[in-house]
Amino acid sequence: MTRSKNNPGSLSSRIPGAVLLMLLPVIAVWVALEGRNFDAEVYGLDERDRSVTSGTRGPKQAPTPQAPGNLIPDSLLPPLPSNAAYRPSGPAEHYDTETVYEKINGAAPEYLQLGFRELLARTYDPVDPDLFGCEVFIYDMTTSENARKIFAQQRSKGVKAVNIGVAGYRFGATWFFHQASFYVNVLNADEGKEAERFSEMLARGVAQRIHALPAR
């Protein structure tokens, strides 16, 4: 290939080339700036919602704050001392027959069949980040007979009974009992004295408050 006579070294042919080349980074910068300019709300694909399509069971919805008409009073949950090993992580959640699936999914039919009316649930996050956390579930089963039935149905075999409510048992830091029309779970997978002390305080606190409720 012979050398071209279009003198490439001259200024007149260099300048347009240089200008054109400078356009490219301008475009790149524009694209980058556009990239930052977006409405996060629109892309708010909540991680929890993705479970519908990624195969894990059941999406979780935002908890509903206590609305008038919810029967279980939030006051059933005892206040915590300042040095408690866990702190509440959100508002107390209420679920009725329509929405209880969002909390307990496949377990719901069992409760519904036994007269479930309302669920009061709350999550407690550990102060110590190495721990998992604690959850309380208070199911209103409408009658004490129903509460007893569900308790019996779910009861693990060979677990030591504990003196709480009408009947109860625990293993580790996890407590189950029933009292009046309520079936209560305190679920705590953590081990150790701190966790056990916290769960017992919660369980007994709830039991006391149920006992103190006016007869309905």
Partner 1 sequence: MKRVRICYQIFFFGLFLFLVAMTDLTYMKGYPVRWFLQIDPLVALATSISAHTLHHGLIWCLLLVVVTVLFGRVFCGWACPLGVLNQFSSAVFDARPPGKRILSNRYRSLYTLKYYLLIILLVMAAGRSLQIGWLDPIPFLTRAMAVFVQPMSQWLGQTAGIDTGGPGVAMALGMLLMAAAAGWLISRLAGGKAKHRHMVRDALFMAALAACILVLFTFSPVEQRRFHWGFWVTFIFLAVLALNRVLPRFWCRALCPLGALLGLIAKFSLWRIHRDPGKCKECGLCAVDCQGACEPGGAFRQSECFVCLNCRDTCPEGGISYRFLPPLEGGAHRSPDLDRRRMIGAASLGALFILGVKVGGSGNRAPRRDLIRPPGSAPEPEFLERCLKCGACMRVCPSGVVHPALTEAGVEGLWTPILIFQNGACEKECTLCGQVCPTGAIRTLSRDEKVGRGRWEGNPVRMGTAFFDRGRCLPWSTGTPCVVCQEVCPVSPKAIYTVATEITGRDGSKATLDLPHVDPNLCIGCGACQKDCPVHDHRAIRVTSVGETRSTKNRMLLGKPRED
Record the tokens describing residue 115, joined without a space.
Answer: 């007269």
Q: Which residues bind partner 1 (CB under 8 A)?
A: 1-8, 13, 16-17, 20-21, 24, 27-28, 31, 34-38, 41-46, 49-50, 52-53, 55, 57-59, 61, 98-99, 101-102, 105-106, 109, 113
CB of 159 to partner 1, least distance (A): 27
The whole-angstrom separation of Cα 171 and Cα 154 is 14
Q: Which is nearer to partner 1, 43 or 82 (CB)?
A: 43
Q: Which is nearer to partner 1, 96 or 194 (CB)?
A: 96
Q: Which is nearer to partner 1, 38 or 81 (CB)?
A: 38
68: DSSP letter: B
Question: How many CA atoms within 13 Å lie on the side-chain side of 204?
Answer: 10
Q: Which is nearer to partner 1, 60 or 211 (CB)?
A: 60
Provide the 10 A C-beta neighbour count for residue 57. Answer: 8
Q: Cβ distance 149 to 114 under 8 Å? A: yes
CB of 89 to partner 1, least distance (A): 22
Helix (H) or strand (E) holding 187: strand 182-188
CB of 76 to partner 1, least distance (A): 25
